[in-house]
Amino acid sequence: MNIIEFITNNIPTFLTLVTTGIFAGILAGLLGVGGGIVIVPVLFFLFQSFGVSPESAMLVATATSLATIVPTSVSSIRSHHQKGNVDFALLKRWAPFILIGVLAGSFLVTRVEGTLLTLLFGVIATLSALNMLFRTGKSALFQQLPNTAGQTVMGTSIGFFSSMVGIGGGTISVPLLTLYNYPAHKAVGTAAAIGLIISLPGALTMLVMGSTPSDAPAGTFGLVNLIGFICIVPLTVLFAPLGAALAAKLDAAKLKKIFALVLLLTGIRMLAQVVL
């Protein structure tokens, strides 16, 4: 089958992937949420519609999502750095521990069943949605970040759990930092840099060390689906500024509540697929 035939026979797939990139980019700019929290569930259900098993679909969705975060995080870091919202002192302290967590988590992804990742993503998505619904705008629980040991645990945990479910770190690091009275705008900007520390080594580990499932969708190398990567990335980068522009005109807080409800339903659906 030549490339023209392949594209013609898979037009609905390409359109879905392109739409995913647009949606992830707009949400990233509009609400400050990482694209991975959108991309993983879309790819998970999309791959299953091709006849891929839920276990394989989750493995490939996780790795492909991490790969898409690499270029988008670079663009995001540049934007936040220009506004002075990237805390490089915090990154310097946390980076080694985030990296340790990422390497452990991404290696584990290449060795475990996708069911565990689906369960973990469902839990993280549900907790993230509940946080957006009920804790956004609430006062911090602590007045400052914990001591060195506490920050070591935080950095390692962010790297470990984010790499295991294919998200860039903002989903976990932003609410965690703001719990400790860390400025929200700096938390979002620093999370963009954390996303690069997570996504690059995580995606490379899953690309090189991952064994491609026998029922993986076409274009999968290791655990990364390159077709998904190529379709999603340009649109995510292109539409993120549009999302940021819309944030100045729309009620972003209300939209965030709507997205949280959708995310909650998605998380519950993924949990149900594992449990039921």
Indicate the SS3 state at residue 143. Answer: coil
Q: Report the amino acid identity of residue 249.
A: K
Please give the pLDDT value at position 122: 94
E-assigned strand segments in the chain: 220-221, 224-225
Please give the pLDDT value at position 93: 95
Say which residues have a Cβ less than 8 Å from residue 35's Cβ, sequence separation at least 6: 24, 25, 27, 28, 65, 68, 69, 72, 168, 236
Please give the pLDDT value at position 139: 72
Please give the pLDDT value at position 83: 80
Joined tokens for residue 137? 């705008």
Say which residues have a Cβ less than 8 Å from residue 44's Cβ, sequence separation at least 6: 54, 57, 58, 61, 118, 121, 270
Low-confidence ranges of the chain (pLDDT < 70): 1-7, 31-34, 136-138, 247-248, 252
DSSP state of 167: -
Please give the pLDDT value at position 76: 79
**Closest to 102 measured CA to CA, from 226, 207, 206, 251:** 206
Please give the pLDDT value at position 219: 87
**Closest to 102 measured CA to CA, from 92, 112, 94:** 94
- Rounded to whole angstroms, the Cα distance separating 90 from 45 reads 36
Please give the pLDDT value at position 19: 87
Please give the pLDDT value at position 109: 95
